[in-house]
Amino acid sequence: MNTKDMHEIRVFAPATVANVACGYDVLGFAIDAPGDEVVVRPSDTPGLHITKITGDNGKLPMEAAANTAGVAALDLLRHLGMSDRGIEMEIHKKMPFGSGLGSSAASAVAGAFAVNTLIGEPLTKQQLLPFAMAGEASADGAWHADNVAPCLLGGIVFIRSNDELDVACIPAPNNLWAAVVHPDIEILTKVAREILPKEIPLINATQQIGNLGGLLCGLIQEDYGLISRSIHDVIAEPRRQKLIPDFYRAKRAAMAAGALGFSISGAGPSVFALCEGEETARKAGEAISKVFSAVPLPNQIYVSRINPHGVHVIP
């Protein structure tokens, strides 16, 4: 792209489902919606400046160095020796905070990707990973790529090492769909992490490793039966389910509707069901939604194939 002819870049960064039941902090996938949008344009004023934020109800800082999208972009510009480059940024939050859908990751990914595109794409998506990670880490202090990596790269991503950011893209079966339901409550990642066990019995660790291996094999082999047998979390879900009203009732409803498996998206409160086929996914989504609505708890349903694209430029 010729930056001389470039007046504005608008990008979309999708929501993600992290952990995927048995892959705590090491597995995640992208969905089509919701997501965040970031707009960048050249400026005559040196440095990166956030000029507008929408959809945040005044929660997010306008100072670039204190904002996840700004931190990711600034880190990238420093790396490239372009800290004085004049750039204006707008952030349009189109997904809820504390939803378990990777809101902070989406903003960080969008910020890094938008600026990289504006300046002529000196880095590949894969090379942008540490800068997007720095942005998300500025929000929650954690360093795990199970939201950032699939948001950036698209598809299903396995993280062998979060410290080394050693990631691998896993093929998604053609007819694999996700029904994601977000109940209108907020769960802070910090709280969701604090209730996890500090030690894990060997029998649970062995079972979790088996389930993760089975899920990866099932995805690669397009074996829906193996996928279904493997979507079980024996570590985080038993502790975190208490933060989500009628969690197990929602799980039973999803499975009765034909879902392959059901669990918590990230730290919650969003939940997801993996399904074979769009029709089953829509039925599962509606079944889960009815459970939350009966609480009563307003909720939103998102039905999507696994998003293969991740963050991308939009008109």
Q: How does DSSP assign 158-191, residue by residue?
A: EEEETTTTEEEEEPPPTTEEEEEEEES----HHH
pLDDT of residue 2: 40
Residues 45 and 107 in one domain: yes
- Least confident range of 113-117, 152-156, 187-191: 187-191
Query: What span, in angstroms and rounded, lies between the C-alpha atoms of 7 and 88?
Result: 11
Domain shared by 198 and 130, yes or no: no
Reported as a single tens digit per residue, the pLDDT across 28-49 is 999 999 999 999 999 999 999 9
Per the DSSP assignment, residues forming a β-bridge with 181 are 271, 301
Catalytic residue among 68, 189, 237, 276: 189
Domain annotation covers residue 239: yes
**What is the pLDDT averaged over residues 3-23?**
87
Predicted local distance difference test score (pLDDT) of residue 3:
41
Domain termination site, one of 126, 155, 171: 171
Check residue 4 and give its pLDDT: 41
Using CA atoms, how far residue 214 sits from 16, 22, 37, in Å, is: 21, 10, 35
pLDDT at res. 189: 79
19 and 144 in a single domain? The answer is yes
pLDDT, residue 256, reads 98
Whether 1 shows a pLDDT value over 80: the answer reads no
55 and 74 part of one domain: yes
d(CA 34, CA 289): 17
> In this structure, are 49 and 155 located in the same domain?
yes
**Residues in contact with 211: Cβ distance below 8 Å, sequence separation at least 6, in sequence order:** 21, 22, 230, 231, 232, 233, 234
Q: Residue 153: which pLDDT band, with cuts at 50, 70 and 90?
A: very high
Q: What is the model's pLDDT at position 191?
A: 85
The single-letter code of the amino acid at 1 is M
Q: Which of 90, 136, 237, 276 is catalytic?
A: 136
Where among 125, 150, 171 does a domain terminate? Answer: 171
User: pLDDT tens, 59-85?
Assistant: 999 999 999 999 999 999 999 999 999
pLDDT at res. 141: 78
Least confident of 71-80, 158-167, 188-197, 202-211: 188-197
> Residue 314: inside a domain, yes or no?
no
Residue 219 belongs to domain with CATH number: 3.30.70.890
Mean pLDDT value across residues 166-191: 94
Question: Do 106 and 237 sit in the same domain of this protein?
Answer: no
Bridge partners, 271 (sequence order): 181, 264
Q: How much is the pLDDT for 295?
A: 97
Mean pLDDT value across the chain: 96
Q: Is the pLDDT of residue 19 over 60?
A: yes
Q: What's the domain range around 262?
A: 176-305
Which of the 8 DSSP states describes residue 222? T
Q: Taking Cα atoms as reference points, which of 62, 60, 279, 297 lies closest to residue 288?
A: 297
**Residue 87 within a domain:** yes
Do residues 180 and 130 share a domain? no
User: Which of 171, 191, 220 delimits the end of a domain?
Assistant: 171
Q: What percentage of the chain has pLDDT greater than the value 70? A: 98
Number of structural domains the chain divides into: 2
Mean local confidence (pLDDT), 209-225: 98
pLDDT tens profile 96-151: 888 999 999 999 999 999 999 999 999 999 999 999 999 999 987 789 999 999 99
Q: What is the mean pLDDT of residues 302-308?
A: 98
Do residues 150 and 185 share a domain? no
Q: Is residue 192 part of a domain?
A: yes
**What is the reported pLDDT for 6?**
55
Domain match, 154 and 93 both: yes
CATH assignment at residue 121: 3.30.230.10
Q: Are residues 295 and 192 in the same domain?
A: yes
Active site residue 278: no
- Band of pLDDT at residue 183, cut at 50, 70 and 90: very high
Provide mean pLDDT across the span 2-10.
66
Domain shared by 161 and 19, yes or no: yes
Is residue 182 located within the same domain as residue 117? no
Distance from C-alpha of 197 to C-alpha of 281, rounded to nearest angstrom:
32
